[in-house]
Structure 1
C-alpha cells in the first residue's frame, strides 16, 4: 500500500505534468545534474533527475571512463532529443559528439543547447537501417519521441548508418554509441555496429521490450545479431541507472525474457539501459567491469 506522503507526492507530480503539458514547448532554463539546459516546459528530465540522482549518469560515467582510457572520446548520440546527453558527456569528458535527431520540436532545443560548442555536430534526420526508407511521424510523450510509420508535415529526411558514417569522416574512430529511440534501438544499434565494424564502438542503448513490440520488432533478436558482429559482454542497469550486473550476449536472452514477462500492470513496467562491448575491446570491458560489477545471471 502506498504511504500517505508518497500519495501526496504522486498527486503533486501529476498536477504539475497536467499544467506543464498544456504549454509543452514553452522554453525554460534548468540546472540539471550539473549542467544548464534550455528545455521544453513539459520535459520530464528535471523530474527524473530529482527523484533519482543516478538517472542518466551511467552513460556519463561510461563516457568518462572510455575517455580516460583513450582521449579524445568520439560519440554518436542517436535520438539526441534536447542535447542533454551530449552536454553532460562533454562536461565530464574530453571529446566530440555527433547528434542525430528527427523531431523538429526538440531540434530547436537541441540547437539552443549545443550550437555554441564546436565539439558538437548535429544531423537533422531520422536514422534508418536502409536507404530509401519511408518517412515517419513523431509521437511525443513527456520529453521523448517515438516515430510511427507513415508521413506527415513534420516528417524528416532519413539517413542510413552507412551514409551517416560516410558523411561524417571525423567520426571514423567512433568509440561510443548512445541510442534512445523508443523501441527502434534493437534494429538501429546492430546497423550502426556494422557500419563502424572496424572501430568496434561500445554500444549503449535503452532495451525496452514493450516499446520494441509497439514498433513491430522482436526485442530478443538484437542479442544474436550483436553476437554475430563480435559483441559479447553486456553491462545492465535498471531504468533508474542502478547497476544490475553483467552477462554475455548468449546468457542475457533468458534474463531479457524474464524482463518482458514481469508481472503487474503495464504502467509499472521497467526496462534496462545496456552497454555492449566487443570481444576484442579490453579497455571497454575494463570500464564496464568497474561500473557494473557482478553477474546478472
Structure 2
C-alpha cells in the first residue's frame, strides 16, 4: 500500500472507531479467527485480527501443543469477553477457569462461554493477597485497567491461593494466561507461587509502559520467577510473531528495547507476549521451542 493509501486507511479506521465508541456496548456478533463471538461494538479485537492473522494465535497454539502432552487446564486472568477461552477450546479439549472483574464485559463473557460446560467463570478481581479497596475501571478499545479510585466498580477480590482452593478441578494447572494491563508482573509470580507444585506455563503481556503506570517495576518479575524455578522464556511481538527465546536471567536487559519506542503515548503499543516455562517442564520447553525456534538477540 502506498503512503497515501496507508494514510487514508488509517483515517478511515480512526473515524470508524470514533463512531463505534459513541455506542461502546452495543452487542454485535462477529466471526473472529474461526470462532463466533458476541462483542461490544467498540471492541478492537476484530480489527487487530483483520490486520494481522497471527494476533492472539500464539496463545492458542501454545495451548494446543500443551494439550497434546496431557490434560489441559487453563487459568484465564482478565478474561474480558472470553475470546481466549473460546479460541483455546476450539483448538483443543480442556477446561478453562475465567476470572474477570469488569462488570461491563462480564455480560459478554457469559454470552460467549456459558453454553460450554468446560468453562467456569469467577466474577472477581484477582489481587496478590485478596485485599481490595476502591477501584475504577479505565476502559480503552476493549481492554480494562483498574486504578485506585473513590468508587469501587470492580467485583470482590480474590487471591491466587483462594482461587486454587475454591476450584479443585484446576489443582494441576497447566497454563496461565494473564492480561491485566500492567499488573501482570505482580500477579503472575503470585499465581506461580500458589501453584508452585504444578509448574504451569505462564503466558502474559510484558508491557513496561503500562506496568509503570501501575506504579510497578517491570523488571522485578524476572528474578521472582527465577526464584520459583522458571528459566525459559519465549517472546512474541504484540502481533503474535515470534521474536526469540531467552532466559529469565537475560530477558530484563533484552526487554529494555521496549522503552526505545518514540512518541510518548505510543509506547503503550510496545509490548511483548511472553511464555515462561519451569526448568522441570520438558513438554513446556518443547512447545515453546516449536513455536519460537530462534534465540533472542
Could you say which TM-score interval applies, normalised by the shorter chain? over 0.9
Secondary structure in 1 aligned to 2:270?
Answer: coil
Question: How is 1:1-297 mapped onto 2 (pairs within 5 angstroms)?
Answer: 3-70=3-70, 72-267=71-266, 269-297=269-297
Secondary structure in 1 aligned to 2:199?
Answer: coil
Secondary structure in 2 aligned to 1:69?
Answer: coil
Unaligned runs of 5+ in 1: none
Residue 202 of structure 2 contacts residue 277 of structure 2 at CA under 8 Å; is this kept in 1? yes
Q: Measure the CA separation in 2 of the matches of 1:194 and 1:271.
A: 24
Secondary structure in 2 aligned to 1:164?
Answer: helix
Residue 98 of structure 1 contacts residue 120 of structure 1 at CA under 8 Å; is this kept in 2? yes
More displaced 10-residue stretch of structure 1: 149-158 or 225-234: 149-158
The TM-score, its normalising length taken from structure 2, stands at 0.97
Residue 134 of structure 2 contacts residue 152 of structure 2 at CA under 8 Å; is this kept in 1? no
Secondary structure in 2 aligned to 1:60?
Answer: helix
Q: 1:261 offset after TM fit, Å?
A: 3.3
Q: Measure the CA separation in 2 of the matches of 1:163 and 1:150.
A: 25
Q: Measure the CA separation in 1 of the matches of 2:262 and 2:153.
A: 37
Q: Measure the CA separation in 1 of the matches of 2:90 and 2:214.
A: 33
Segments of 4+ moved more than 6 angstroms? none
Deviations 1:154-181 (A, max 9, x none): 2320000111101111100000000000
Q: Measure the CA separation in 2 of the matches of 1:125 and 1:131.
A: 10
Deviations 1:36-90 (A, max 9, x none): 00000000000000001000000000000000111x3000000000000000000
Q: 1:265 offset after TM fit, Å?
A: 4.0
Q: How many residue pairs end up in the alignment?
A: 296
Cα distance 1:24–1:76, how it changes in 2: closer, same or farther (>3 A)? same
RMSD across aligned positions (CA): 1.3
The TM-score, its normalising length taken from structure 1, stands at 0.97
